[in-house]
Amino acid sequence: MDITQTPAPTQATNSAIGNAATSSVLSSDFEVFLKMLTAQAEYQDPLEPIDSSEYAAQLAQFSMVEQQVMTNDLMQEMLAALGANDMSGAANWIGMEALVQGPVKFEGSSITIAPNPPVAADAVTLLVTNEQGTEVTRLSLPVSAEPYIWDGLDSDGTALPHGEYSFRVESVANGEVLLTEPALAYNRVTEARIENGSTLLVLESGYMVHANNVTGLREAS
């Protein structure tokens, strides 16, 4: 995985501005969405009420927006804590599981994957490939952004060998593929480094990512 290293002052400034802008946009979208949903429910035509399935989909979308706002705020706090780029702060990441894009080492324990299919999708499939890039199984997923726990089994229920696996999510609507994109997965952090003013995390799979590219963080299970 290529890593672009940027001098500390410029990288830190751009990160702060980018995070603030993202937070502002997400918060604004969240407030607007809430107002629109409330107004829609309040002023709906009693003779033609909102379809229950459509309303449920809107509520699910509302929940996703709310969760994204909360996640973004948490990540801003975490990145701000690492803003000084001190090794003691970076060391707090070691042993935790970071939600990132990239291969994950499977050694018998389940792996948490975060699919994010488009709202228009009516079918979602998880594509699993091994370290050699060979697709080893396809698994049907719920049409949801809820985390999916992969237990290392293929579609026939056969346990796959230990090793590194990568994940992609294929979203389909009306029989046509809308999107195939890499899925995020939790990967344990084994090392943290400070290089050229940037905080880099070494994952259990051996890959190295910028701390800025982490979209979630949790205690190792």
In the numeric block, which tokens belong to residue 130?
């091994």
Q: What are the tens digits of pLDDT across the range 74-131?
A: 666 655 555 444 566 677 888 889 898 889 999 898 999 998 888 889 999 999 999 9
**Contacts for 92 with CB less than 8 Å, ≥ 6 apart:** none
Residue 221's pLDDT is: 72
Residue 45's pLDDT is: 66
Chain centroid to CA 29: 19
Query: What are the distances in angstroms from CA 192 to CA 16, 86, 201?
Result: 21, 11, 5
CB atoms within 10 A of CB 185: 25
- Give percent above pLDDT 70 in the chain: 61
Rounded Cα–Cα distance for residues 108 and 117 (Å): 27
Residue 217's pLDDT is: 84
φ and ψ of 185, to 5 deg = -145, 155
Average pLDDT over residues 20-29: 47
Position 82, amino acid: L
In the numeric block, which tokens belong to residue 16?
């702060």
Judge whether 115 and 167 are in contact, CB under 8 Å: no
Judge whether 123 and 172 are in contact, CB under 8 Å: yes
In the chain, what are the helix, strand and coil shares in percent, each to the nearest 5?
A: 35, 35, 35
Rounded Cα–Cα distance for residues 189 and 12 (Å): 22
Q: What are the tens digits of pLDDT across the range 154-196?
A: 999 999 999 999 999 999 999 999 999 999 999 999 998 888 8
Residue 197's pLDDT is: 74
Q: Which of 4-18, 42-56, 133-147 has the lowest mean pLDDT?
A: 4-18
- pLDDT bucket at 12, cuts 50 / 70 / 90: very low
Chain centroid to CA 186: 9
Rounded Cα–Cα distance for residues 97 and 198 (Å): 19
